[in-house]
Amino acid sequence: MDQQELEDRLVEFAANIVRLIELLPSIIAGRHFAHQLVRSGTSPALNYGEARGAESRKDFIHKNKIILKELRETLINLKIIDIVDLTGDNKTLLKQLLKESDELVSIFVATLKSLGNN
């Protein structure tokens, strides 16, 4: 996968996070997770754009670490939403996002390993 394909994948992930947020109920927990997800779930796409324009290798690695951190946060939020069943009958998008966030975490773990930073 090249950089543009990964960026497109992250943008689609962010768009699907926004779609999921719209499905969450307007209860305290739903609003809480909506606020969490809008930040952590859209951040990887935005930070990847920054990483592609990094000024140095160190800057590139740092931005990729932030992306990984945000993806892990998003994955945990999605798992909690799934466990407490905040999406009701609208599970399809949630399941897709759980799978995609897990795959994206793996991609960025591998990227950082290849760059020599654990």
Task: Give per-10-residue mean pLDDT for the chain (118 aa).
Answer: 95 98 96 97 97 95 97 98 92 97 98 83
pTM above 0.75, yes or no: yes
Separation of alpha carbons 68 and 64, rounded Å: 6
Note whether 51 and 61 are within 8 A (CB): no
Distances (CA, A) of 115 to 45, 52, 110: 20, 15, 9
The pLDDT of residue 59: 96
Separation of alpha carbons 60 and 4, rounded Å: 16
> What is the DSSP secondary structure assignment for residue 24, as one 8-state letter?
S
Count how many residues are written for the chain.
118
The pLDDT of residue 33: 97
The pLDDT of residue 88: 85
Beta strands per DSSP E along the chain: none
Note whether 93 and 23 are within 8 A (CB): yes
Where in the chain are the domains? 3-114
CATH architecture for segment(s) 3-114: Up-down Bundle (1.20)
- Residue where the block lists tokens 């305290």: 28
Note whether 109 and 68 are within 8 A (CB): yes
